[in-house]
């Protein structure tokens, strides 16, 4: 075993956990979950069956990642993030065959206490603000805030708000990476 599991955590048989991953207090990883390398699962995290977490995913305290959720590499899930997997749940009606998949693409950040309604894709390096409610797909590099979540700007791969000039170019103040905005889509200039 080349990963760390706190003694209070429960790891069911039949999970895949990558090297360098750390799973902290009172967390539960359920049979069939796949967790990549160098991930960090904070206190009281639940990872359900068939959930896939890529490499270097950071999951803060009190997050339940339900079946149907896939997080690609370098995703950040803030404290108390909420995922759903059924649009119209009812206690007395089983709808497990109706789970809607949710995908969080590489490098995306989801802020504390945000809610992600199932069936949506949050694209690369998108930034979901604390407490936002995501009800539809999110463009790459988009900044989403509020309830319902509204697109209010663009973010760099380093997590800084981008300010575009008259030629639709922006530079990240930390990395000095350049970005271009065309047809309401942001791309990093390589």
41-68 burial by CB neighbour count: b if 16+ within 10 A, else e?
Answer: bbbbbbbbebbbbbbbbbbbbbbbbbbb
Peptide linkage before 116 cis (omega within 30 of 0): no
**Digitized pLDDT (tens) for each residue of the chain, 190 residues in all:** 699 999 999 999 999 999 999 999 999 999 999 999 999 999 999 999 999 999 999 999 999 999 999 999 999 999 999 999 999 999 999 998 899 999 999 999 999 999 999 999 999 999 999 999 999 999 999 999 999 999 999 999 999 999 999 999 999 999 999 999 999 999 999 8
**53 and 35 Cβ atoms separated by less than 8 Å:** yes
Nearest to 133 by CA among 118, 114, 151: 114
**171 and 181 Cβ atoms separated by less than 8 Å:** no
C-alpha span between 135 and 146 (Å, rounded): 11
Domains and CATH numbers, the chain: 4-88+96-159 (2.160.10.10)
């Amino acid at each position: 075993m080349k990963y760390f599991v706190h003694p209070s955590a429960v790891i069911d048989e039949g999970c895949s956990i990558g090297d360098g991953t750390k799973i902290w207090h009172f967390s539960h990883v359920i049979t069939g979950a796949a967790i990549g390398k160098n991930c960090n699962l904070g206190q009281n995290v639940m990872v359900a069956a068939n959930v896939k977490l890529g490499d270097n995913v950071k999951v803060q305290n009190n997050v339940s990642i339900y079946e149907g959720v896939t997080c690609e590499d370098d995703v950040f899930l803030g404290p108390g993030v909420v995922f759903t997997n059924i649009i119209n749940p009812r206690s007395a009606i089983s709808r497990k065959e109706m789970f809607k998949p949710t995908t969080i693409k590489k490098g995306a950040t989801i802020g504390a206490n945000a809610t992600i309604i199932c069936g949506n894709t949050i694209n690369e390096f998108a930034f979901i603000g604390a407490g936002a409610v995501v009800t539809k797909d999110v463009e790459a590099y988009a900044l989403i805030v509020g309830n319902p979540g509204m697109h209010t700007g663009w973010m760099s791969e380093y997590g800084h708000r981008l300010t575009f000039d008259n030629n639709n170019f922006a530079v990240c103040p930390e990395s000095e990476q350049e970005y271009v905005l065309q047809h309401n889509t942001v791309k990093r200039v390589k």
